[in-house]
Amino acid sequence: MSEQESDEVKRMKQLEEARKRVEELKKKKNKKNKGKKNKNSSATGSIGSETPDLEGTPGEESTQEETVKANSTKSENNDQNDVDEESEEKEIEQVKSDPSGTTEKDIEEINSTSSNVGKDDAENTKKEEVQEVIKNNNDEQTADAGKTIEPQEEKKIVQTQEGNEPSNTSEAADDLFANDGNEESDFLTTIKKQKEEDELTKLRAENEKLTQENKQLKFLNMENETTVDDLQDQLQEKEDIINGLQNDLQTARDELIAAVEKLKLAEAKAARNTTATPIQFADFNTSSNNLTPSQSVTNSGTQVAHGNNMEVDRVMLNKWRQWNVDMTTWRSIGSGPIMEF
C-alpha cells in the first residue's frame, strides 16, 4: 500500500509540473527564446562537464555558472506556479466548494516543490516526461470541458421542469376559481353533461359487446347444428354397418349350417362307399373281361373319390389282378392274322 501511495504521489507531482509548464507557455509566448537559451545553456553545461577533466581551473567556473542559471529557472518556475495555482483554485471553487480539495492541492504543491528540489540532476529525463504529460493534460482539459457543459444542460432541464409545474398548477387553480366565482350553474351542468356522456359511451360499449357476443353465439349455434347433423350421419352409417355385419353373420351361420350338412352327406356317402365295396366285389366276380362303359365309369368314379383324397385304394387295385385286356380289336403294329389256340 505504501508503494502504491508513493506511486500516486509521484504521478500527481508530475501532473502539476506539466500544468505549470503549460500555463507558462500560454502566458509567456515571448519567453520562448529564454527557454531556448536555457536549453543552450544546458548544452554548454554538458560540454563543460566534459572539459573539466582535461582542464582543472575552467571546470570549476562552469559549475558555478550552472548553479546560478538553475537558481534563476527555479525562481521563474515558482512564480509561474503561483499564478497557476490561483487560477486552478478559482475554477475548483466555482465547480466545487469542498475544503478537502484545497487541502489536497496544498499537499500536492508541497510534494512537487520537494521533488523539484530533490531532483536537479534529472531535468533532462523530466522534460521528456513533461511532453508526455502535456498530451495527457490536453485530454483532461477536454474531459473537464465536457464536465462543465453537462451541469449546464442539467440546470436547463431542471429549469424547464420547474417552469412546467407551476403553469399546470396555476391553470388548475384558475379554472377552479373562475368556475366557482363566475358561473356556478354552468359548472354543474357541465358536470352532469359529462356524466351523461360517460354513461352513454359506457352503454354504447356494452351494447357493442353484447351484439358481438350475440353474433358469436349465433355462429356457435350454427356450428353446433352442423356437428349435430354430422353426428347423426355417422350414427346412420354405423347403424348401416351394424346391419351389414348382422347380415354377414347370418350368411356365415347359413354357410356353416350348409357345410355341416355337406359333411353329413359326405359321411353318408363315405358310409355308402364302404358298404358298396362288397357289391363291387360281386361285380368283379361276375364281370367279363370286357367291361361295359357304365362299369368303367363307376370304377373311375370310385377312383375319383379316392384320388381327390390322394389315398391309394389297394383293395380296389388288387381286385383288378388277373384281369387281362382284350387287344384283338386294337390297332397294332403286328403283322399277320390273330391266331387262336
* Footprint on this chain of other proteins (rule: CB under 8 A): 289, 291, 293, 296-297, 299-300, 303-304, 306-308, 310, 312, 314, 317-318, 320-341
C-beta of 25 vs 291, nearer to other proteins: 291
> ∠ CA(285), CA(288), CA(289), 5° rounding?
115
**Minimum distance from CB of 282 to other proteins (Å)?**
16
C-beta of 41 vs 303, nearer to other proteins: 303
C-beta of 173 vs 317, nearer to other proteins: 317
**Minimum distance from CB of 326 to other proteins (Å)?**
5
Residue 233 corresponds to which cell in the numbers above?
350421419
CB 88 within 8 A of CB 79: no
**Minimum distance from CB of 329 to other proteins (Å)?**
6
Q: Indicate the burial class of 31 (C-beta count within 10 angstroms; 0-12, 13-18, 19 or more).
A: middle
**Minimum distance from CB of 340 to other proteins (Å)?**
5
Report the distance separating Cα 174 and Cα 192, nearest Å: 21
Q: Indicate the SS3 state at residue 22.
A: helix
CB within 8 A of 295, min separation 6: which ones?
283, 287
**Minimum distance from CB of 281 to other proteins (Å)?**
14
Report the distance separating Cα 318 and Cα 312, nearest Å: 11
Report the distance separating Cα 140 and Cα 3, nearest Å: 25
C-beta of 68 vs 310, nearer to other proteins: 310
**Minimum distance from CB of 313 to other proteins (Å)?**
8
3-state secondary structure 169-220: HHHHHHHHHHHHHHCHHHHHHHHHHHHHHHHHHHHHHHHHHHHHHHHHHHHH
**Minimum distance from CB of 258 to other proteins (Å)?**
21
CB within 8 A of 157, min separation 6: which ones?
none
C-beta of 257 vs 317, nearer to other proteins: 317
Report the distance separating Cα 54 and Cα 35, nearest Å: 30
C-beta of 2 vs 308, nearer to other proteins: 308
C-beta of 47 vs 325, nearer to other proteins: 325
C-beta of 2 vs 322, nearer to other proteins: 322
